[in-house]
Amino acid sequence: MNGLQGGGAALGFLPAARAWLGDRLPNRGLGLLIALHVACSAIALVLVTALIPVDDRIAVPLDLGILDPTAVGVGVWIVIGLLTSARSARLEGRVALVYSVAPIVAAGWLGGPTAAAWVALLGTTERRELDGEIAWYGGLANHAGFVLPAILGAFAMHAAFAAIGGPTTGPGGFAAVILGAIVLIGLNSAMGIQIVRARTGRPALETIGVPLVAFAAMPFAEAALGWAFAEAYVAVAWWCALVLVAAESTAQSALALGQVEWYARHDTLTGLPNRRALDERARDLRRRPPERGGAVFVIDLDRFHDVNNTYDHAAGDLVLQAIAGRLSAQLRSSDLAARLGGDEFVFLAAGVATKSEAEGVRSRLVAAIEAPIDIGDVTVDVGASIGYALLAPAFDLPTAIQRADTAMFEVKQGPDREAA
């Protein structure tokens, strides 16, 4: 009996082991393609490292004892590559190649194919790989997809410069760098498209979209950036490029943080502030109540669901965006319009101290919302049920919104009834 139980446990382990491996291994076609890319890139890396010395132009001009100045120079560009690759995490990995081209181009221009290969291998490491957000074989495919194109791009760059001639800082050098970047990005895109097709089974035309846009838009800009960093590295100081890239990466981080903060406080469909922004305004009102008070209006659209049912949700989204634009047009500098969700909005009007003033604001809002809305070849109209509540004397915005919402519901249930 114990033997049977042991055999049953072993048999039960096999499906679990297959499932565990299945989650961690690519399918056969994708695995073979990645293995081919990795093998070709590894062979190319070994050959250029063994046969082609790194050009002295990339060397750090310091007496570093036992350390080879050219190897240290390659290390500097690997660090620069890591700084630029970190940006791909903030862009959710989309078109990550264009954010790693400049350091590879610069390393290839200064140090040749061997330097370009090692920067491509190590300097393209993304935070997503370290965090385990992409599969290990995906990381291998990404690095292989950079190494071989970097080597061939560096060869193309130096062959073109030998044919064109002239000083490295002249037009000939710049043209050669651009050609190398085009080769690098073109081959990287082609290898990436193969991987995506094998992974998703999508047709070629659908797969090529994003890399094609990147290839069309970025080679010149990234090549120019890489060339400028390389020339600054030689003509000014070796650490100059590191400082410039670190500063640029910091600026990008600040910009990305600002975008994150904006999206955290705004509705993505309409661009209006959201509930979090309303909560912040509530805290401001408690700390600094306005002198003449204010009123909050809760707006619920009428006949909005008819638009969704008659046409589609895309038409409904266009209606919401149009209403948001009309509410924004009614704002003064101290007012606020926000979307609570669905077809419900809030309008906060400062300086509204009496019910008669609030009725005037409500009439303006109703007139703005009820005007016909053109959606392509179709014109629709929606109404608005609006309830309001005065903020003074407590200036408790959440409670005022609840009172205004109750008043709005009464208006919606009985159009002839007066809002509170």
pLDDT of the residue at 55: 92
- Note whether residue 420 is domain-resident: no
Is there a contact between 317 and 308 (Cβ–Cβ < 8 Å)? no
- Note whether residue 81 is domain-resident: yes
Q: How far apart are the first and last CA of the chain?
A: 79
Domain's final residue, options 203, 236, 264: 264
| Total of domains in the chain | 2
Q: What is the pLDDT of residues 175-204, one digit of tens each?
A: 888 899 889 888 888 888 788 777 776 665
Task: Label residue 226 by pLDDT band (50, 70, 90).
Answer: confident
Among candidate residues 289, 296, 305, 290, the one with its CA nearest the CA of residue 400: 296
Q: What is the pLDDT of residues 77-131, one digit of tens each?
A: 898 888 777 655 444 444 444 456 888 999 999 999 999 999 999 988 877 777 7
Q: How many CA atoms lie within 13 A of 215 on its CB side?
A: 19
Residues 258 and 279 in one domain: no
- Note whether residue 286 is domain-resident: yes
Domain's final residue, options 216, 244, 264: 264
User: Structural domain of residue 398, as residue ranges?
Assistant: 275-413
Report the pLDDT averaged over residues 298-307: 89
Q: What is the pLDDT of residues 8-64, one digit of tens each?
A: 444 444 454 444 444 567 777 888 988 999 999 999 999 999 999 999 999 888 777
- Note whether residue 6 is domain-resident: no
Domain's final residue, options 203, 230, 264: 264
- Note whether residue 161 is domain-resident: yes
Residues 131 and 63 in one domain: yes
- Note whether residue 178 is domain-resident: yes
Residues 329 and 233 in one domain: no
Residues in the chain: 420
Residues 133 and 208 in one domain: yes
The dihedral through the CA atoms of 119, 123, 124, 125 has a sign that is positive
